[in-house]
């Protein structure tokens, strides 16, 4: 009897560890670097989706854990090292991230592809990523800057700005966005007086601003980062009385910038991925209940994590090379529409053999090789806060 009981207990330990093992999702974001003020909300948003799935009890593959890594946003070597640790030491099943386009490309090429790991970025927007070889492993819930360039050109013309100077951060994100802005603005009758790059991390941007001021313009477009070079360009422009109106693309959007610059930034305009869909409202409510306010790329981070988990359920596998084939299926029609707060319901529907259409926090629709078709919010800086005043 004792021998039989011992054999039975041992059999339980042999059979059930695979079911009890945690599924792990790596979260690689720039917790340090030029967008460090945005990363905490992005990470919390992804973990909000993970917590929702865990609490539902409807995920077939056990509990899900998040493991964070620092991309730095700008240091490719550091981002690759963080990704290597997550994959080889922490044994993550997928990556929510990275964030900035350059480090995302580096991690994809040098770490994710060789290891066969799915990446879903909430904020890497370089148009070059649309055609980057990825073995079907890379997706993004943020729209490409090819689309943002169109939106920015439209906004500038509509607001009466037909002559602009353009400063961009000297990396993949800045170069790609600057090219898209220039192409679209010129096509709509606008004029770019100068396109000049700037480096992050400098103490003095007076030389860069002098060149921009010499070229002139009714507004300065700053395609940079709100916590480093972009902020430096704006402050130096104000100090030199070179420009007093600024257009702020997505990497410049966040309340840390108007707080740092002060009232002189009031009246400036910008753009950031966003929607006024029912899903966006539901996500904001969930975030508040969890103790944080929604911020730039928070909704996209929630959606990225949700897609990973729903695709795992759909494919009946936590292996990236298997569930990658189900991401487009759960993201798009046909199927019952799924919003934030309904991930447990979605899992139940999938297990019942029914189709879902994950609408999520961003009215998500994946197109092409797996990127968001793209909705944007129009931003106005008012009372030292970023305010959404329209959508397109």
Look at residues 202, 201, 218, 114 and name the one whose alpha carbon lies nearest to residue 164. 218
> 205 and 343 share a domain?
no
Q: Sign of the CA dihedral 79, 80, 81, 85?
A: positive
Please tell me whether the overall predicted TM-score, pTM, comes out greater than 0.85 for this model: yes
Confidence class for position 227, pLDDT limits 50, 70, 90: very high
Asked whether the predicted pLDDT for residue 209 surpasses 90, the reply is: yes
Q: What pLDDT does 22 receive?
A: 86
pLDDT tens string 39-68: 999 999 999 999 999 999 999 999 999 999
- Rounded CA gap, 183 and 214, in Å? 22
Phi, psi of 387 (to 5 degrees): -125, 130
Asked whether the predicted pLDDT for residue 374 surpasses 80, the reply is: yes
Q: What pLDDT does 354 receive?
A: 98
What percent of the chain has pLDDT above 70?
A: 95
- Rounded CA gap, 195 and 343, in Å? 45
> 387 and 285 share a domain?
no
Stretch (H or E) spanning 260: helix 256-261
Asked whether the predicted pLDDT for residue 11 surpasses 60, the reply is: no
Q: What pLDDT does 146 receive?
A: 95
Q: Sign of the CA dihedral 235, 236, 242, 243?
A: negative
> 153 and 246 share a domain?
yes
Question: Taking all residues of the chain, what is their mean pLDDT, rounded to a whole number?
Answer: 94
> 34 and 181 share a domain?
no
> 222 and 343 share a domain?
no
230: domain range?
146-275+375-391
Asked whether the predicted pLDDT for residue 281 surpasses 80, the reply is: yes
> 102 and 83 share a domain?
yes
> 134 and 40 share a domain?
yes
Confidence class for position 78, pLDDT limits 50, 70, 90: very high
Asked whether the predicted pLDDT for residue 310 surpasses 70, the reply is: yes
Cα 227 to Cα 35, 36, 184, 253, 263, distances in angstroms:
6, 7, 27, 10, 17
- Rounded CA gap, 163 and 158, in Å? 13
| Count of domains for the chain | 2
- 191: number of Cβ within 10 Å: 13
Asked whether the predicted pLDDT for residue 322 surpasses 90, the reply is: yes
Let me know if residue 198 belongs to a domain: yes
Tokens linked to 131: 């055609």
pLDDT tens string 98-152: 999 999 999 999 999 999 999 999 999 999 999 999 999 999 999 999 999 999 9
Asked whether the predicted pLDDT for residue 15 surpasses 80, the reply is: no
Would residue 98 be called left, alpha or beta, if left means φ above 0 and alpha means ψ between -120 and 50 degrees? beta
CATH number of the domain residue 167 falls in? 3.40.50.2300
Q: Is the distance from CB of 254 to CB of 39 less than 8 angstroms? A: no
> 287 and 138 share a domain?
yes
DSSP summary character for residue 109: I
Asked whether the predicted pLDDT for residue 5 surpasses 80, the reply is: no
Let me know if residue 370 belongs to a domain: no
> 131 and 155 share a domain?
no
> 40 and 108 share a domain?
yes
Confidence class for position 21, pLDDT limits 50, 70, 90: low
Let me know if residue 368 belongs to a domain: no
Mean pLDDT for 277-295 is 97
Which range, of 19-28, 197-206, 213-222, 250-259, averages the lowest pLDDT?
A: 19-28
């Amino acid at each position: 009897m004792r021998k039989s009981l011992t054999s039975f207990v041992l059999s339980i330990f042999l059979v059930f560890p695979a079911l009890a093992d945690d599924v792990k999702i790596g979260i690689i974001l720039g917790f340090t670097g030029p967008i460090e003020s945005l990363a905490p909300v992005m990470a919390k948003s992804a973990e909000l989706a993970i917590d929702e799935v865990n609490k539902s009890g409807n995920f077939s593959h056990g509990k899900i854990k998040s493991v964070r890594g620092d991309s730095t946003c700008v240091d490719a070597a550091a981002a690759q090292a963080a990704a290597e640790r997550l994959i080889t030491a922490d044994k993550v099943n997928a990556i929510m991230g990275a964030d900035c386009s350059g480090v995302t490309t580096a991690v994809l090429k040098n770490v994710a592809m060789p290891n066969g790991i799915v990446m879903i970025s909430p904020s890497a927007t370089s148009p070059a990523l649309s055609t980057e070889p990825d073995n079907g492993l890379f997706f993004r819930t943020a729209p490409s800057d090819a689309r943002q360039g169109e939106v920015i050109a439209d906004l500038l013309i509509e607001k009466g700005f037909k002559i602009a100077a353009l400063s961009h951060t000297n990396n993949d994100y800045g170069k790609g966005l600057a090219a898209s802005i220039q192409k679209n603005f010129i096509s709509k009758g606008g004029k770019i007086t100068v396109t000049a790059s700037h480096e992050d991390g400098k103490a003095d941007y007076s030389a860069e601003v002098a060149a921009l001021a010499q070229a002139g313009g009714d507004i300065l477009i700053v395609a940079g980062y709100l916590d480093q070079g972009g902020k430096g360009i704006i402050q130096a422009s104000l100090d030199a009385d070179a420009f007093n109106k600024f257009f702020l693309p997505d990497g410049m959007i966040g309340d840390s910038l108007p707080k740092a610059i002060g009232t002189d930034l009031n009246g400036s305009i910008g753009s950031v991925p966003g929607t006024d869909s029912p899903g966006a409202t539901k996500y904001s409510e969930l975030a508040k209940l969890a103790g944080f306010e929604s911020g730039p790329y928070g909704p996209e981070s929630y959606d990225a994590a949700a897609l990973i988990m729903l695709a795992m359920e759909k494919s009946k596998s936590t292996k990236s090379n298997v569930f990658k084939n189900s991401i487009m299926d759960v993201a798009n029609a046909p199927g019952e529409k799924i919003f934030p707060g309904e991930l447990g319901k979605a899992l139940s529907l999938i297990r019942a053999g029914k189709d879902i259409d994950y609408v999520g926090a961003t009215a998500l629709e994946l197109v092409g090789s797996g990127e968001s078709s793209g909705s944007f919010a129009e931003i106005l800086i008012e009372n030292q806060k970023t305010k959404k005043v329209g959508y397109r």
